[in-house]
Structure 1
């Protein structure tokens, strides 16, 4: 069979190291995957091997700390080669043997730590290049590192690289001038106010990074590849202020001109490749792009660097559309890097090679299963519950094959049907409407939520391949179940948007009705409810040219800080501001009028113009059927929103758990 997209499957080189194709797994932090010795636990080993098995040419591991004592990070936080070198070698050597069996190469990414970018409570020693406020909590002050601490850190990098080479890694990547982590703080003058040889000029601010690569080359040999994780531009308007792609602003961090000069210095020092993106923790959405970005957003930065350095450029940035990836090769980069697409679907590269893009499970850009879990659980994926636990939580064939009836074709019902069918059960899914997808149908209407519709398409294709019997326009009542010879019933009947009847003359519409085009939206819009659906609907309408205001009865929108993954929250808030969407918190609707609403905020009552009123005040579980059938003499399960209204991740994860065990 001919390879599809052959340009992506030609070999590539980093130094003298040959890579079988131009497809790399991007480094994503393995937080929570270290064992008690700082080695790779078995789950982490299996996670990387699974991607190697499915065709990735180069794997770059997530960050591994070179010294847990630098910031006194908890042992289980990240793997660390120097904590117990023998244990580390034992765990990773056997992993690398397995990776190499599939013809893949693997680099370990080494980091100095977080500095001022540490999430509060994640480290016990708060340090930085100079005295700095913590990025997330300005009350926390990070002290200036001493020269001895800096020199020790450099030696730890060199020692870690030596251990990595003994472990069978094909190279190392230095997590240095990137994303506003500790070594990037040294490189950025905004954070580095030192007056010694590690501060001042650009060369001095890069000294740690250049001494690290020189030391590794001396210890491991000139032919041992060393790549650099590199953010060309900081994309900052100021401290804790990101700059949107749409904005024209003055760069407060590293601008492109300095980024080019820095790249030249770093390549001259010995780095064999640049793994390129943009952003810092102060503009965190640039490094971890939410769904609000367009695809391929880093190509401009790779194109700039290719004109100025003569080493391979590795580039990520939502390029799971192969046409975008192909357009980037040669012009913007030499190797395409995939991050979250390989969390969402470990078989992505093999499906790409064999032309099965309709079988790819898409990343939604939600961050709920990956970075949104840091601090509570190891990184995984909202649409792929087995991610990071491939061998202990995969789908196994059922011993006894059963007839399973699934009621409801929303995301929970679709996932339950997929998993149950893979296990060998005979599955019938009944959907009361004429289409599958449930709340993802309206939810995926805005351009920035387009991958929600891709997820529905993925499920449709899976159910076709698995011969699931899907019945549309079929409503199931308690008495209907007797007609079917079933052993298990799974209720996945979803939820319904709440609406409010206001005093006055204007009718209101739910966000779902507006998204589905069931009501006309005039120029001046009030959205009642500032949760995620309300705010995203406001953004969508504002992007279409409407004048939008959001009225929220609580003190904060989006459920308050921390309810969403940080990068999604920060970008959405910045977008609401950029599109001039007025936000009224602690405010309620008193009554409606013909072209306005009367609102109350504290002791003030005033009017806001409103030609269209949209409500987005949550959803009500459709659990009546489950209550009627839960006492049948066969197992009955209730999943998704009909069990508890939540997000897409928990609908999928709970459905996976139930279907994996029926």
Structure 2
């Protein structure tokens, strides 16, 4: 029988470079993958090799700087071919020989720099096409680059590409007329106010990028593939103001018509493929789509447009992890499908698709917690896959002595402990007091924009089934039952319970979980006490159903503010709440709840509001009573993991559970 997804596994070409299938790894920042010489360290090499091993046809590395001195970037944060070219070639050759062993090809992405998009402290030299404010801190002013500086960067691109070719890379990708990075800032008139040969007309604004590809071709040869990371449209309403999908607005950045014209000029200059998306740092959620984009494939329309106007391959990412969607896109809106975060969560995604094992693919949640949420203080990683970036030093190894393990609680932490212990060869029993596995993720996965949370639960259930974990639902454990069972190790993962506060038992007041699960009726006018992530997502979900929603938050900002969660998620959630007319009271306290009204203490005084339903979403408290009962008297090791130890997010529930289970 013909493979349903055979279309994805047919060979394709970028110029003279043949790729074994139409599946590519999208470039993601290789933070923490450089050694002291700026070469790929062993962790970075293992990371890319693992994706080649999993069946990806084309690996595109994350950004490698052509010149760390141009912006005086901290060393070594990301790989850089020009610090010590010989050391880079030694490391690159070693990595690429391993990648090629699996039939995969590898392209190195080279960056001109960050410009105004640089996070404060990440660079010491603040440059841009023209004098302007930093994206994140308006008090930081970026000065205009000199022509000599621009020419030096162009030379460093040519040098870097030469080093890449000597290292066995099959091509290079230029980063980028995309996402509002330095080259994109030159391309967009909103940011580029220069009056010399690098400003003014579209051709001049693209001169930096076109001179780069010409210089590389001059050094490496006309046949050496050079691709371009390219954003067709900026989705900017203004400085630091993004536009939501479907929103009517006036584009101040690059619009589609100019994007088409720019693409034609760039291809004419010598670029061999366009790696397409949309957005800038001012509309960052377009470049790094959170779960609030309900549907994947948000760049398909842009790829479809460009395929009509340029004659080079189109590479397309944007949550394309539905293989049916990917097959539909091939030939229509792209030539190669690109996977970023899905290859973090599951390096073997391509091979599992080829074999039809879709229920074994670990899904990406689009949460950004691991891949971008830790970018300022930690290496690239993944919320649901703790092995990312440390594949050979933090993998799962067989246990030296097989044991019996009792896991109490079937939430994420409990299921991860059970999964890892079973993989190591232990005999595992998991007891869950309810009739379902999933814990607090069950109500959390109800909104349609959280559908991948549901997929994660289904993935865990399938893994436990494949690993022959004995799962006992509707089973409440206590101290006596634990002793009778007599396991070698006991792991408590009993989760957490909503904090009710002083209004939790008032008439007509319900919890966010009850609202999401539909166990209590919800009126048309809803007031949510608590503007954390749970309160905001519940409010958005209700507003999308047509409810009149108000959120009350004691803190000065919702969801912990811009630093309380990955910024692109925070920014889109904030914009979505405003778009759906959710009223938000910050620095506000609920004083009393009456039958159909609530009294609020706002910064401007007391306000009385009418509400059919009041929802409590002020947080969770650890359910650790069972652990406290057994921890002192147990004759065997007892561990407390997940929310029952410390209430936290999905990433740390999984990571903590993984850490403990891989050592048992």
Same fold (TM over 0.5): yes
Partner of 1:329: 330
Structure-1 separation of matches of 2:635 and 2:471: 24
| 1:255 maps onto 2:255 in alignment | yes
Q: Distance in 2 between matches of 1:101 and 1:553?
A: 57
- Give secondary structure in 1 for the equivalent of 2:425: coil
Match of 2:462 in 1: 461
Q: Secondary structure at the match of 1:393?
A: coil
1:567-626 deviations in Å (ceiling 9; x for gaps)? 001000000110111001111112223322111113611211211000100001000111
Counting only pairs closer than 5 Å after superposition, residues 343-354 of structure 1 correspond to structure 2 as: 343-354=344-355
The count of aligned residue pairs is 662
Q: Contact 1:413–1:492 (CA<8 Å) still a contact in 2?
A: yes
Contact persistence 1:129–1:182 (CA under 8 A) = yes
Tell me which moved more, 598-607 or 417-426. 598-607
Q: Which residue pairs with 1:640 in the alignment?
A: 642
Q: How does 1:193-272 map to 2 (within 5 A)?
A: 193-272=193-272
Most deviating of 110-119 and 604-613: 604-613
8 A Cα contact 2:373 2:566, kept in partner: yes
Question: Which whole-Å CA distance do the structure 1 matches of 2:32 and 2:194 have between them?
Answer: 34
Q: Does 1:433 align with 2:460?
A: no
Distance 1:630 1:349 in 2: 44
Counterpart position of 1:6: 6
Post-superposition shift, 1:500? 3.0
Aligned pairs for 1:118-517 (under 5 A) are: 118-293=118-293, 294-502=295-503, 506-517=507-518
- The offset of 1:505, in angstroms, is 6.7
Q: SS state of the match for residue 637, structure 1?
A: strand
Q: Distance in 1 between matches of 2:8 and 2:557?
A: 46
| Contact 1:503 1:592 (8 Å CA) reproduced | no
Match of 1:550 in 2: 551
Determine if the alignment matches structure 1 residue 48 to structure 2 residue 48.
Answer: yes
**1:565 and 2:566 matched:** yes
Q: Do the aligned partners of 1:503 and 1:590 also contact (CA within 8 Å) in 2?
A: no
Please report how far the alpha carbon of residue 560 of structure 1 lies from its aligned counterpart in structure 2 after TM superposition. 2.4
CA contact (8 A) 2:508 2:595 kept: no
Q: 1:194 to 1:625 in 2, by over 3 A?
A: same
The separation in 2 between residues aligned to 1:485 and 1:421, in whole angstroms, is: 18
Q: 1: distance between equivalents of 2:613 and 2:292? A: 25
Task: Report the TM-score when normalising by structure 1.
Answer: 0.99
CA distance 1:205–1:490, shift in 2 (3 Å) = same
Q: Which 5+ residue runs of structure 2 have no aligned equivalent?
A: none
Judge conservation of contact 1:501–1:508 (CA < 8 Å) in 2. no
Please give the TM-score of this superposition, normalised by the length of structure 2.
0.99
Counterpart CA distance in 2 for 1:209 and 1:370 is 28
Question: Could you tell me whether the CA contact under 8 Å between 2:402 and 2:427 is conserved in 1?
Answer: yes
Moved more, 355-364 or 605-614: 605-614
Distance, in Å, in 1 between the alignment partners of 2:629 and 2:596 is 44
Q: Which residue of 2 aligns with 1:582?
A: 583
In 1, the alpha carbon distance for the partners of 2:606 and 2:215 equals: 68
Q: Give the equivalent residue in structure 1 for 2:115.
A: 115
1:504–1:592: 8 Å Cα contact kept in structure 2? no
Q: Can you list the C-alpha shifts for 1:513-558, whole angstroms capped at 9, x where unaligned?
A: 0000011111100000000000000000000000000011122211
Please state how far the C-alpha of 1:149 moved relative to its aligned partner. Answer: 0.4
- Alignment CA distance shift 1:463-1:503 (3 Å): closer
User: Hey, what's the Cα distance between the residues in 2 that align with 1:248 and 1:544?
Assistant: 21
Contact 2:386-2:658 at 8 Å conserved across structures? yes
1:531 partnered with 2:515:
no
Distance (Å, rounded) in 2 between the aligned partners of 1:594 and 1:435: 34
Between the aligned partners of 1:200 and 1:604, the Cα distance in structure 2 is 52
After superposition, what is the alpha-carbon deviation per residue over 1:195-227, rounded to whole angstroms, capped at 9, x for unaligned?
000000000000011011111111111111000
Contact 1:32 1:379 in 2 (8 A): yes
Query: Taking structure 1 as reference, are residues 444 and 503 closer, same or farther at Cα in structure 2, changes over 3 Å only?
Result: closer
2:503 & 2:395 partners in 1: Cα distance?
49
Aligned with 1:264: secondary structure?
A: helix
Query: 1:373 aligns to what SS in structure 2?
Result: coil
**Deviation for aligned residue 1:92:** 0.8
Deviates most, 494-503 or 90-99: 494-503
DSSP 3-state at the match of 1:69 = helix
Q: Secondary structure at the match of 2:309?
A: coil
Separation in structure 1 between the aligned mates of residue 628 and residue 345 of structure 2, nearest angstrom: 34
CA distance in 2, matches of 1:222, 1:623: 65
The Cα offsets for residues 232-279 of structure 1, whole Å up to 9 and x where unpaired, read as 000110110000002011111000000000000000000000000000
The alpha carbon displacement at 1:561 in A equals 2.4
Alpha-carbon separation, structure 2, partners of 1:439 and 1:286? 29
Contiguous gaps of at least 5 residues in structure 1: none
Using the TM superposition, give the Cα deviation of residue 25 of structure 1 relative to its aligned residue in structure 2, in angstroms: 0.3
Return the alpha-carbon distance in structure 1 between the equivalents of residues 482 and 506 of structure 2: 45
Do residues 98 (structure 1) and 112 (structure 2) align?
no
Q: What CA deviation, in whole Å up to 9, does each residue of 1:431-489 have, x standing for no partner?
A: 00011000110000000011111001000000011000000111110111122131110
* Partner SS state of residue 372, structure 1: coil
Which segment is superposed worse, 557-566 or 525-534?
557-566
Distance 1:386 1:503, change over 3 A: closer
Q: Deviations over 1:17-66 (max 9, x none)?
A: 11000000000010121111100010000000001011100000000000
Check conservation: 1:504, 1:591, Cα contact below 8 A: no
1:160 offset after TM fit, Å?
0.3
Query: What SS does the corresponding residue of 1:406 show, helix, strand or coil?
Result: strand
Query: What is the RMSD of the two structures over their aligned residues, measured on CA atoms?
Result: 1.1
Change in Cα spacing, 1:465 to 1:504, as seen in structure 2 (3 Å) is closer
User: What is the Cα deviation at residue 80 of structure 1?
Assistant: 0.2
